[in-house]
Chains A and B, each alone.
Chain A
Amino acid sequence: MFRRNGQQHVTRLDIDHDKCYSCGACVAVCPPDSLFLSKLTLQVDDTTCTRCNRCVAMCPVHALALTPVESLVS
C-alpha cells in the first residue's frame, strides 16, 4: 500500500460523515496520530496516514474505508 521513493499512496482514507458519530474509537488506535476530532468532526491528516487500516477495523459503524486513488480520479 505504501510506496517508497516519493511516490504517492495508491489509496486514501475516506470518512463517511453521514455514518460517523465522532466517537474517537479510530483516534485511539491510530499509530501516527493522523486522525483527530476537530470541533467534533473527524478529520484525517493525509500526509502522515500510513494506510495501516487499523481505524477501518475499529470503527463501530464502518464509516471509514481505504479507497483506491485511481477510482477517485476516474
Chain B
Amino acid sequence: MKTSYDVVIVGAGPAGSAAAIRAAESGLDVLLIEKRQEIGVPVRCAEATDIETTERFIPLNERWIAHRVQRYAIVNAVGDRVIVPPTSETIMLDRKVFDAALAERAAQVGADVRVSTAAVGLLHDNGTVKGVKVKSLGRAYDVRARLVVASDGTESQVARWAGLKTIPPLADYYVGFQFTLSGMAAYMNPAHCEYHVGVETIAPGGYVWTFPKGEDSANVGIVIGANQAREVSAQTWLERFVERRYPGVSMLSVVSGGIPVTGALKQMVTNGLMIVGDAAHQADPLTAGGISLGMMGAEMAMSVATQAVQQGDVSARCLRDYEHLWHERFGKMHAALYSVRKILSRMDEKQFDALVEHASRLPIETMTPGEIMLELLKAHPKLLLEAGTLITTGLVLK
C-alpha cells in the first residue's frame, strides 16, 4: 500500500468520511482507513439527521433515506404531547447504506479508502504527530502524513495516544440501548419523531425515542444518565417501555452504546493531529444526536487543515483555529442545551408532566421560544429558578 499522504483519517463514520470528502476536494492527498471489514456495520445510532447538512456532502439518494419526518413530539409519561416544528427537515437514514455511500463519495472525489485497516499507534517526531502505524489486511505499515485526523468514535484510541483524551464524569454520559421494531403502525404517527420523557417511570436522566423508519417500523431507543444506571440497566428500562406501550411488536435489531454529552472537547488539536465527530464529543449535549454535528466538525477541521498543510505549518497553534470556529458556531448553543439537560434531570416527573400538559394547549407554532417560556413561567413559577440558568446561557433571549 502507499505509505505517504497529506492527511490520514482514522475511522470511516460520517465525520471521517465527511473530512475525507472535504480534504480531497481541496486537493489534498487523503487516506481514509476503517478497521472493520465493512463500512457502516454494525449500526450504532438512532439514524435521524437533517437534510440540509447531509446535502452539503452528498447528493440525496433514496437508497439510504429510509423515511422522512415532518415533526417532533415531546410526550410526557401520561401521554400529553407538544408538537414542535423542526428547524430543518429530518430524514431517517439507513446508516449501513449511508455510511458506505459517504465513504464511496470520498473515494469518488479522490480519497484512498481502505477497510480492514486499523490504526495501532501514532508516529511521532519532535513532539509532532507524523503519521499512523497501521495493520492493513494482516500486514503492518508505517503511513507517514502531514496531518492525522482522529474520527474513531467515542472510544477513540487515537485521541488517547495523542494525549488529548479527557474522560468526563459519569454524570456527563448517556447509556444507550435501541431496538428496531416492526409492527409499529398502530402505535405511532409515521410523520412524527417522538421523545418520551419521564425521569421516574420512563428513563432516569434521559428519554426514550420513537423514530419511524417507515409506515410500520421504527427505531425505539433509550438513553439514561450513566450515574443513574447502576440499579436498572438501559436495556431493562427499554424492555419495560416496549412491553407496556408496544405489545406484540417484533424486534429486527438491537444496538447498544454510550455517548458523552459534555459538549465538544476544549482541546481538539495537537501538533499534527485533529479530532472530529464523536471522538471530539461533538454530539448535541441534550439529545446526543451527532451525525450532522460530526460532519460539520469535520468540515470546519478540514477548512483549517487545508490551509495548514498547504502552508506547511501543522502546529497546534495553527490548527487551533478549528476549535475557535467550532466554539463560535456551537459553543453557546451547546452550553444552553447542556443546562437544559441538567434542569430536566432535576425535575420530578409530576412537574414535567404538568409542564408538557400546559404546553400542549399552547399554539406553539406561532410563538417564539421566549413567549413559550414566559407563558410556562406564569403557570409554573417554580421554574423561574431554573429559567435563570437558561437565560444566562443565552437560550431564551436569542
Contacts and interface: CB of A to CB of B under 8 A. Distances in A.
Interface of A: 21, 23-31, 33, 54, 56-62
Interface in B124-155: 153-155
A56 B160 CA distance: 21
Nearest to B257: A23
B235 interface: yes
B372 interface: no
16 contacts: A25-B175, A25-B176, A28-B154, A28-B156, A28-B258, A28-B260, A31-B167, A57-B229, A57-B230, A58-B229, A59-B229, A60-B175, A60-B176, A61-B233, A61-B234, A61-B235
B325 interface: no
A35 B229 CA distance: 19
Interface of B: 44, 153-156, 160, 167, 170, 173, 175-177, 226-227, 229-230, 233-236, 254-258, 260
Contacts of B254: 21
Contacts of A33: 160
A26 B256 CA distance: 11
Interface of A is mostly: loop
Nearest to A21: B256
Nearest to B229: A57
A73 B156 CA distance: 36
- Pairs A-B, 8 closest by C-beta atoms: A25-B258, A60-B256, A28-B155, A27-B155, A62-B233, A60-B234, A23-B256, A24-B155
Contacts of A27: 155
B175 A29 contact: no
Nearest to B176: A60
B256 A58 contact: no
Nearest to A19: B235
A29 B153 contact: no
A23 B260 CA distance: 14
B226 A57 contact: yes
A36 to B, nearest CB: 9
A26 B234 CA distance: 14
- Which of B156, B160, B175 has the most chain A CB within a 10 Å cutoff? B175
A24 B229 CA distance: 16
A29 B160 CA distance: 12
- Which of A23, A25, A27, A57 has the most chain B CB within a 10 Å cutoff? A25
Nearest to A26: B258
B257 A25 contact: yes
B36 to A, nearest CB: 9
Nearest to A35: B155
A33 B160 CA distance: 9
A3 to B, nearest CB: 24
A57 B173 CA distance: 10
Given A23-B256, A28-B258, A58-B170, 14 more contacts: A21-B255, A25-B155, A25-B175, A25-B257, A28-B167, A28-B260, A54-B170, A57-B170, A57-B175, A57-B230, A59-B175, A60-B229, A60-B256, A62-B236
